[in-house]
Amino acid sequence: MPLTLQQIRTNCAQARARMAQARAEKWAFGAFNLDDEATLKAIVMAAAAKQAPVLVEVSQGEVDDIGIDNVRDMVDNFKYQYGVEMYVNLDHSPNVEAAKDGIEAGFEFIHIDISQSNHDATEEEIIAATQEVVAYAQLTGAIVESEPHYFGGSSNVHEEGIDYEEIKKTFSTPEGMRHFVEATGIDTFAAAIGNLHGKYQVPKVLDLELLKLLRDATDCNISLHGGSGTPGHYFREAVQIGVTKININSDMRYAYRTTLEKVLAENPKEYSVAKLIGKEVIPAVQAVVESKLDDFNSTGKALVI
């Protein structure tokens, strides 16, 4: 059932305090995509096993498929059933109206990403839209995240290599970050330091020296998108520098699909696919989430719900 405005404000205030605590204690929230009930259950079971706080996130595709209020209800039902600390993030919201819908639905984290839906959006257009979302988020206290440019890749498995000379052209800069944060008033800055959406054939390489410069540039929270396919030592170092939110999607989808393909091939006469998902797929995705929670140093950091 829908949360009251006061309940939403209380949840957002707690999430805000926990982000500050994460930075002070040098750990990060894992933000894991919800594709369906099975992935949500895998995330929740991992959070319970590791006693770690987590974000469950949906982008516009999942919102259109599941329904924004259904997402909120599903997360809350699992949250109380398993006794885990869990918040909802609206990831890559493509426009101001969609972001406002997330705020009204009680999502504690809102990522407004005009450039994702319009790669040619100017920085002025991105700033104006972000300012509007930041102002509207005062209704609930939701934590607003954004970035000043298009972030490459996609949440898929890519066959091509990574052209670092090309993506370095869109790396964040301390001066650009400071200007964007001051212009918009955002709570969280999505940094580009070699992270890239999707899973590639080669491991990703993060520029941790640049991350240190970004951390010194402003007091804003820093997030890393495109965490899949990144060696864990980068995450362990990043949280020590001050990253407090890391997004994971493709690694989970890869585990889901490859495991499902395997068990379907092994059980050609089993037509209860849900049974196979529960037995094999959920544990495989759960294992991915648990490994990330260890890398993010969030194991054992959950509040008792």
Active site positions, annotated: 91
- Write b or e for each residue in 99-133: b if 16 or more Cβ atoms lie within 10 A of its Cβ, otherwise e: bbbbbbbbbbbbbbbbbbeeeebeeeebbebbbbb
Q: 24-59 burial string, b = 16+ CB within 10 Å, else e?
A: eeebbbbbbbbbeebbbbbbbbbbbbbbbbbbbbbb
Question: In 173-198, which positions are buried (b, 16+ CB within 10 angstroms) versus exposed (e)?
Answer: eeebbbbbbebbebbbbbbbbbbbbb
Spatial contact of 100 and 135, defined as CB atoms under 8 Å apart? no
Q: How far apart are CA 235 and CA 299, in angstroms?
A: 14
Find tokens 């498929």 and name the residue: 65
Distance CA 194, CA 172 (A): 10
Task: Name the H helices within the chain.
Answer: 5-25, 37-50, 60-66, 68-82, 96-104, 114-117, 123-136, 164-167, 174-184, 208-217, 232-241, 250-266, 273-276, 282-295
Check: CB of residue 85 under 8 Å from CB of residue 54: yes
